[in-house]
């Protein structure tokens, strides 16, 4: 299934905001692009204004500091989290899993592809998630609501077939999530060159060994 890029969801959210003037929408779009590409500290309001094709005074008219501008960029990102979670749920719904390997391959390859396609935007989200508990809670709340019921149904079916270890579903999910994040975050944050297919295969092998009944 095609997943919508974060920058497209962000842009759509801005366009649907009738309270935000057009020039300020251009400022936020440019800010996200530059924050993602070179970091908040390395981005000047002058650069944002140039990319947005507005005067620097237009930037300061609504956002008095770069911190206020960054906070304003985060709001549309938080707003699109439910759709990101819903799209991943559809991947799980639309895929038929005959064994644990099928499930692990689908989850791992889909999230690796998603991370690669949205690497710059995810870099902004991850760095800010380390400082903002609200962002982390929003992400996890949407994952629990949109993804976990479907995923846990798959877990239960695999346990009935004796293909998945008889752990509590929360424990299985925590194990899978921590392993996946541990592999994805360094790549996103450090922009390390690596073969995603090879890394994904190694990750699937590791999870398979840990989650297959003895």
Write down the H helix ranges in the chain. Answer: 6-15, 22-38, 45-52, 56-62, 66-94, 100-117, 119-129, 133-146, 148-160, 169-190, 196-211
Q: What is the pLDDT of residue 73?
A: 87
Residue owning tokens 């996103």 = 188
Radius of gyration for the chain, computed over Cα atoms and rounded to the nearest angstrom: 20
Where do the structural domains in the chain lie, given as residue ranges? 6-211
pLDDT at res. 200: 87
Return the CATH architecture of domain 6-211: Orthogonal Bundle (1.10)
pLDDT at 102: 94
Closest listed residue to residue 128, CA positions, set 71, 88, 76: 71
**Digit-coded pLDDT (tens) for 47-105:** 999 999 999 888 888 888 888 888 888 888 888 889 999 999 999 999 989 999 999 99
Question: Tell me, what's the pLDDT at 188?
Answer: 78
What stretches in the chain show pLDDT beneath 70? 1-2, 130, 191-194
State the pLDDT at residue 172: 97
Measured CA to CA, the distance from residue 183 to residue 119 in angstroms comes to: 14
DSSP 92-145: HHHS--SSHHHHHHHHHHHHHHHHHHTHHHHHHHHHHHTT-HHHHHHHHHHHHH
| pLDDT computed for residue 164 by the predictor | 96
Place of tokens 């989650």: 211
Contact present, 52 and 27 (Cβ < 8 Å): yes
- In the prediction, which pLDDT does 13 show? 86
CA dihedral (4, 8, 9, 14) in degrees, to 10, reads -170
Contact yes or no for 62/54 (Cβ under 8 A): no
């Amino acid at each position: 299934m095609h997943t919508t890029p974060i920058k497209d969801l962000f842009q759509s959210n801005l366009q649907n905001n009738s309270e935000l003037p057009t020039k300020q929408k251009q400022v936020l779009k440019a800010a996200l692009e530059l924050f993602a590409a070179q970091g908040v500290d390395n981005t000047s309001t002058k650069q944002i204004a140039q990319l947005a094709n507005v005067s620097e005074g237009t930037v300061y008219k609504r956002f008095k500091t770069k911190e206020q501008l960054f906070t304003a960029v985060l709001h549309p990102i938080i707003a699109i989290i439910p759709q990101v979670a819903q799209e991943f749920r559809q991947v799980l719904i639309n895929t038929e899993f005959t064994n644990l390997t099928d499930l692990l391959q689908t989850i791992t390859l889909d999230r690796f592809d998603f991370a690669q396609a949205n690497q710059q935007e995810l870099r902004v989200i991850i760095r800010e998630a380390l400082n903002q508990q609200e962002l982390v809670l929003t992400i996890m709340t949407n994952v629990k609501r949109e993804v976990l019921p479907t995923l846990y149904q798959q877990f239960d079916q695999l346990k009935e077939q004796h293909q998945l270890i008889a752990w509590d579903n929360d424990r299985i999910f925590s194990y899978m999530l921590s392993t996946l994040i541990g592999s994805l975050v360094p790549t996103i944050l450090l922009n390390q060159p690596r073969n995603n297919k090879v890394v994904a295969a190694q990750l699937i092998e590791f999870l398979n060994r840990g989650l297959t009944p003895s």
